[in-house]
Structure 1
Amino acid sequence: MKKFKIIFLGLTAMTTVAACNNPGNSKTETMTAQQDSTHNHEHTYACTMHPEVTGHKGEKCTKCGMELQPIHKEDAAKLAVSILASPQPIEAGKTTALSISIKENEKNVGLEEVHEMKMHLLVVSEDLSWFDHIHPEEQQDGSYSVKEIFPAAGNYLLFTDYKPKGLAGEVEMKKLEVTGTAGATSFELKPKAVSTIAGYTVTLINANDLKTNQTQDLQFSVEKNGKKLKESDFQNYLGATAHIVMIGAKDKDFLHIHPVSDKRFPIYAQTNIKKAGLYRMWAQFKIDGQVHTADFTVDVAQGEKGNEEGKNHGHQH
């Protein structure tokens, strides 16, 4: 099991912070300890895009408007995420029912809507060749259910993207094993900057420029029948022009990015990638009532630390 802070892979946990009062301590010593504790946890939330912007739980970044995320493990929620699949064993090509529960102290927690849904479930094959973005529906007991058909035998990774009420958003990864017939061909991870889907040619223009340790543009062009599309040609898809998901090939680092408006590109976003290496990327957009998924593979280079460009940032979590 891996749990992610939104934007970046990381284990999360919650501890109870309590002041330990030793009767033998002097009043001065006790006050100093309390002051130190207050100072250490006064600003325990920060913007993942602007780390220099800190604040308290529930506050937003003054530069980009993103909700501040917990810096320390003890400030994150202690939630247990479980996924039950039936029937068992899971068979490729057959419908599988997935039941997802997010609990705190054995009770299902309430979730807030984020981009028009309370839960986003990103399903990928372990080799990152296959991708699906689905939305489990809330049940009366507070759990969430959805059906999926896995295309071939093998291991699959399920990223549950959710935001508990009053808490920061999180993503947790689970692995499922699917039996049956294996895929016809093996998938090779190699850079891919152009994707063609349903007659649309989608190009990640700056695919070769991606680096860590800086604010990074994602610049897409979209063409069909020789015509370059504009942002106005796209329909709203879950509260955004598009949805972009990146998953690292090595450690399965997860980024869920939402574009912002930019006159230069029909799909444009900014992100901050923490680790160098190969990533699979899927950009989803909606035109004429149909959702299309363009896939890419990018090689993110190691950037110099402190090379922050200070640009305006798009929404990412």
Structure 2
Amino acid sequence: MILKLLGSGLLSMAFLSGCTATQTVDHNQHNAVSSGNEQGEHAGHGTTTPAPSMDIKSIWKLSTDKPEPNQKSNISIQIDDSKGAPVEKFDVNHEKQLHLILVSKDLSYFDHIHPEYMGKGLFEISTMFPKNGEYKLIADFIPTGSQQKTENHWVQVGNEKAALEPIIPDTSLTKTVDNKEVTLQFDKLQAGKEVQMNFSFKDSKTQAPITNLQPYLGAVGHVVIISSDVEHYIHNHPLEEKATGPDAKFATFFPKSGVYKIWGQFQQNSQVIIVPFVVQVP
């Protein structure tokens, strides 16, 4: 999840191809960018030597070929190397060996969950999909000794063709969630260059700055960004992981112009909140 930052390093990214595509990034950095239809090179900077990239493949299985809404579905992800042998070891990255992102095709649904590692390259978890439609599952992990990888898989839930909700950019980048007023700001919203973004927190009733944010998965927050065509996936970690508010600052990279949905995940008083925003990137 993790790119070098301009100013604090150089952005590094890779792009994916196919339904179960693979992304590789330098996991000593702060962000990951991946795409479903392109492939690119990695950039390094300074004295940091990127880990070698491992060719891997993923095998996805669900407990049923046609999951139904609001019913438990078991998901297994088998991670093998290019020769078909299981990948045995994975780095713990922000407290977990694998992060699994689930989004509906219209991005109206989002979840960030963590399958259990069963050994011999196998991860398992049980979850529910809330409604009919297509969902993209994105697995984010680091095989030990390798660069970070992203594998993705589409799932059709139910037999009905679900109506897609429109993805419309927000006219205001201030949201109130669980008595917290959260404002998202960018230094300059643009594609193709590093962008600094800041989430600022106030108590929605008193307007007092919130300064007691707690670590969530080892950092003040996490941000997932996905393009409206569900091709580009970006996972950001904060520039100052030990910050407690009122600001949580991130650097990110939008690979092309278009509409993107952003989910910020934060924690206060042992409660995790998700703050969504939709932006139009010039």
Interval of TM-score (by shorter of Structure 1 and Structure 2): 0.7 to 0.9
Alpha-carbon displacement from aligned partner over 1:77-133 (angstroms, at most 9, x marks no partner): 210112211133211110111111111122221211100000000000011111000
Distance 1:111 1:252, change over 3 A: same
Following the alignment from structure 1 to structure 2, what is the Cα–Cα distance between the partners of residues 81 and 153? Answer: 25
Alpha-carbon displacement from aligned partner over 1:106-161 (angstroms, at most 9, x marks no partner): 22212111000000000000111110000001114431111111000100000100
One-letter identity of the residue aligned with 2:259? L
Residue of structure 2 aligned with 1:201, choices 171, 181, 202: 181
User: Is 1:164–2:189 an aligned residue pair?
Assistant: no
Give the secondary-structure state (helix, strand or coil) at the position aligned to 2:22: strand
Following the alignment from structure 1 to structure 2, what is the Cα–Cα distance between the partners of residues 220 and 287? Answer: 14
Alpha-carbon displacement from aligned partner over 1:258-297 (angstroms, at most 9, x marks no partner): 1123798521111222211111110000111111101010
Distance 1:195 1:173, change over 3 A: farther
One-letter identity of the residue aligned with 1:221? S
* TM-score between both structures, scaled by the size of structure 2: 0.79
Residue of structure 2 aligned with 1:227, choices 185, 203, 207: 207
Following the alignment from structure 2 to structure 1, what is the Cα–Cα distance between the partners of residues 244 and 55? Answer: 42
Following the alignment from structure 1 to structure 2, what is the Cα–Cα distance between the partners of residues 239 and 255? Answer: 19
Distance 1:300 1:122, change over 3 A: same
Aligned residues: 247
Residue of structure 1 aligned with 2:33, choices 2, 5, 8: 8
Alpha-carbon displacement from aligned partner over 1:18-62 (angstroms, at most 9, x marks no partner): xxxxxxxxxxxxxxxxxxxxxxxxxx9634xxxx5476333xxxx
User: Is 1:57–2:50 an aligned residue pair?
Assistant: yes
Contact 2:212 2:244 in 1 (8 A): no
* TM-score between both structures, scaled by the size of structure 1: 0.71
* Number of the residue aligned with 1:175: 154
Following the alignment from structure 2 to structure 1, what is the Cα–Cα distance between the partners of residues 227 and 63? Answer: 29
Contact 1:189 1:297 in 2 (8 A): yes
Unaligned 5+ segments in structure 1 are 13-43, 59-74, 302-317
Unaligned 5+ segments in structure 2 are 1-18, 26-31
- Bigger share in strand: 2
* Number of the residue aligned with 1:108: 86
CA-based RMSD: 2.5
User: Is 1:239–2:218 an aligned residue pair?
Assistant: yes
Give the secondary-structure state (helix, strand or coil) at the position aligned to 1:139: strand
Aligned-pair distance for 1:5? Answer: 3.6
- Bigger share in helix: 1
Contact 2:202 2:246 in 1 (8 A): no
One-letter identity of the residue aligned with 2:156? E
User: Is 1:153–2:150 an aligned residue pair?
Assistant: no
* Number of the residue aligned with 2:256: 275
Which of these two proteins has the greater Rg computed from alpha carbons? 1
Following the alignment from structure 1 to structure 2, what is the Cα–Cα distance between the partners of residues 227 and 113? Answer: 38
User: Is 1:96–2:73 an aligned residue pair?
Assistant: yes
Contact 2:35 2:231 in 1 (8 A): no
* Number of the residue aligned with 1:314: none
Distance 1:186 1:106, change over 3 A: closer
130-139 or 269-278, which deviates more: 269-278
One-letter identity of the residue aligned with 2:33? F
* Number of the residue aligned with 1:291: 272
Contact 2:134 2:155 in 1 (8 A): yes
Residue of structure 1 aligned with 2:103, choices 121, 124, 127: 124
Following the alignment from structure 1 to structure 2, what is the Cα–Cα distance between the partners of residues 140 and 55? Answer: 30
Alpha-carbon displacement from aligned partner over 1:57-84 (angstroms, at most 9, x marks no partner): 33xxxxxxxxxxxxxxxx6321011221
Contact 1:200 1:223 in 2 (8 A): yes
Distance 1:174 1:54, change over 3 A: farther
